[in-house]
Amino acid sequence: MTAPEAPAPVAGLPRIGEAAPAFTAVTTQGTLDFPADYAGKWVIFFSHPADFTPVCTSEFMTFASMQQEFAAYNTALVGLSVDGLYSHIAWLRTIKEKITFRDMKDVEVTFPLIEDVSMTIAQKYGMIMPGEDSTKAVRAVFVIDPEGTIRTVIYYPLSLGRNFDELLRVVKALQTADHFEVATPADWRPGEPVIVPTAGSCGTAAERMSEPVEGLHCEDWFFCTKEIPAEDIEAAIRVKGNS
């Protein structure tokens, strides 16, 4: 009796707080050594299912149109699919020469798009999910900090285009949290109150509730917020010279 065939191994998913897996790849902008080439920068590293598909086209046009907006927050864009380099080049030329989406047209994609025909990089980042598709990458997003550490992981299925306002909000929130040593509440936008670290002792908790602390607003000992003006946040996290 023949033994049943073992299921194909599924690559592990890189986790928040871990070093971004390193690789060297061919891209539409030349050879890339990742994440070393982006030392000192934030990176949004994302995958898309396939070239010459409508949802991916709408996403690449949106990413390209927002590239300078991300760059204003020291954030670079790097894309990947399991298509080959010449397919990438042909698709990006088609986007520029033929496609209009919303108010975007003549859009030139100048950030790197990685070829990954072997799916080696996609497997390394857990971008291939056989339950969704065994030959295409899902819409994965990894936000990686200037030290090469994974800070956010977001996954979308093939049928769902990404929310780009949310991706920019994530970058701003992570940078704000790092710079000011705070956390950001649900749906936070710059200029809204941020959350200060929870009291680390009974004494501090009691003081917060019995003696008001200037600049803090406490709902209870564990839930305190403070105001940071939007202009202070922009001054701290925005690249100088980008207005």
| Known catalytic membership, residue 56 | yes
* Interatomic CA distance for residues 158 and 59, integer angstroms: 12
* Interatomic CA distance for residues 89 and 199, integer angstroms: 54
> In this structure, are residues 156 and 58 in contact, taking their beta carbons and an 8 Å threshold?
no
In 7-82 the beta strands, taken as DSSP E runs, fall at 23-27, 30-34, 42-47, 75-81
* Interatomic CA distance for residues 77 and 167, integer angstroms: 11
User: What would the two tokens of residue 223 be?
Assistant: 């839930």
Q: How many angstroms from the chain centroid is the CA of residue 77?
A: 9
Cis peptide before 35 (omega within 30 of 0): yes
Is 139 annotated to bind a ligand? Reply is yes
Q: 46 vs 4, 61, 207, CA distance in Å?
A: 36, 14, 45
Please list the active-site residues. Answer: 56
- Please state the residue numbers annotated as binding site for substrate: 139
